[in-house]
């Protein structure tokens, strides 16, 4: 079992997976939902100690969690809109990810994604409010988006953005549905099924509001591209 056997830290309420970075290239992340503020701080501190040279990340934080982090971990960098905290220096970025969002209401998800991209080792480029009802706004940003190594398209409502983008560029494209709508939208299910049924080939999808998951996937693509390029030199 040596090839998957790993060091772990038993915190009583959790077993931190300290070997994950060796296995997958990135440390474990603290998912705030359902934990106490104290558990979040303990986990962040322990992960940071195990990865002194890498930023560690916590997501889905509530205001009490953020307050305790600010008190106990003053070095942490907080993004209240994205509800994320990072602790430690981000890796030197390799590759770029365009994080494109359809409307202002999608910003919290887009920023969770951008922060994740940075922690997972790539450079995010946030392009906001380019929904398809004003097509010229998107077309004007097309070359900027096409220059990225991976693209994340964040949209609610009918979520047409990734389909239109997918017909304009050939860059790997990850769609994030958001729980934004004007009536019956089942907390984002409508955006989600729209993305799943995109008529543009090759659009892949994460769960509703899961900017974190999209950020991980996009950063891995982007950094692989550039590490390969470097290695190929």
Which residues between 109 and 148 bind a second copy (CB under 8 A)?
128-137, 139-140, 142-143
Please tell me whether residue 92 binds a second copy under the rule CB under 8 A: no
Closest CA to 161 of 100, 208, 107: 100
Q: Select the span of 16-24, 48-56, 64-72, 83-91 touching a second copy (CB under 8 A).
A: 16-24
Q: Tell me how far, at minimum, the Cβ of 37 lies from a second copy, in Å.
A: 13
Choice between 78 and 168, CB closer to a second copy = 168
Judged by CB under 8 A, the residue of 51, 54, 60, 118 near a second copy is: 60
Do 199 and 160 form a contact (C-beta atoms < 8 A)?
Answer: no
- Rounded to the nearest whole angstrom, what is the least distance from the CB of residue 140 to a second copy in the complex? 8
Q: Whose structure tokens read 């999608």?
A: 106
DSSP 89-115: PPPPP-SEEEEEESSGGGHHHHHHHHH
* Region of 48-56, 71-79, 83-91, 196-204 interacting with a second copy (CB under 8 A): 196-204
- If one asks whether residue 169 binds a second copy (CB under 8 A), the answer comes out as yes
Q: How far is the CB of 193 from a second copy (least distance, A)?
A: 4
Of residues 204-233, those binding a second copy (CB under 8 A): 204-210, 212-214, 216-217, 220-221, 224-226, 228-233
Dist CA 91 CA 184 (whole Å):
42
In the complex, least distance from residue 201 CB atom to a second copy, rounded to whole angstroms? 5
84-87 and 77-79 strand pairing? antiparallel
Q: How many residues does the chain have?
A: 233
Taking a C-beta distance cutoff of 8 angstroms, is the pair 126, 113 a contact? no
Q: Which is nearer to a second copy, 48 or 216 (CB)?
A: 216
Torsion sign, CA atoms 141, 142, 143, 145? positive
d(CA 110, CA 214) in angstroms, rounded, equals 10
Of 75 and 130, the one with the shorter C-beta distance to a second copy is: 130
């Amino acid at each position: 079992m040596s090839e998957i056997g790993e060091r772990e830290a038993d915190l009583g309420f959790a077993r931190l997976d300290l070997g994950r970075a060796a296995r997958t290239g990135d440390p474990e992340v603290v998912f705030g939902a359902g934990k106490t503020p104290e558990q979040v701080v303990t986990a962040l501190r322990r992960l940071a100690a195990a990865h002194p040279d890498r930023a560690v990340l916590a997501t889905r934080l509530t205001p009490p969690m953020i307050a305790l982090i600010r008190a106990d971990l003053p070095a942490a960098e907080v993004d209240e809109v994205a509800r994320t905290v990072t602790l430690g220096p981000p890796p030197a970025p390799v590759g770029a990810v365009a994080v494109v969002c359809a409307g202002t209401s999608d910003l919290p998800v887009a920023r969770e994604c951008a922060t994740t991209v940075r922690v997972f080792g790539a450079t995010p480029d946030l392009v906001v409010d380019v929904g398809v009802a004003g097509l010229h706004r998107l077309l004007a940003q097309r070359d900027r988006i096409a220059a990225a190594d991976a693209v994340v398209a964040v949209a609610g409502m009918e979520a047409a953005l990734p389909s239109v983008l997918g017909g304009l560029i050939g860059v790997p494209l990850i769609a994030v549905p958001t729980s934004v709508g004007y009536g019956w939208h089942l907390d984002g299910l409508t955006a989600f099924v729209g993305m799943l049924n995109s008529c543009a080939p090759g659009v892949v999808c994460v769960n509703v509001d899961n900017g974190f998951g999209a950020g991980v996937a996009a950063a891995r693509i982007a950094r692989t591209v550039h590490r390969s390029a470097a290695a190929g030199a």
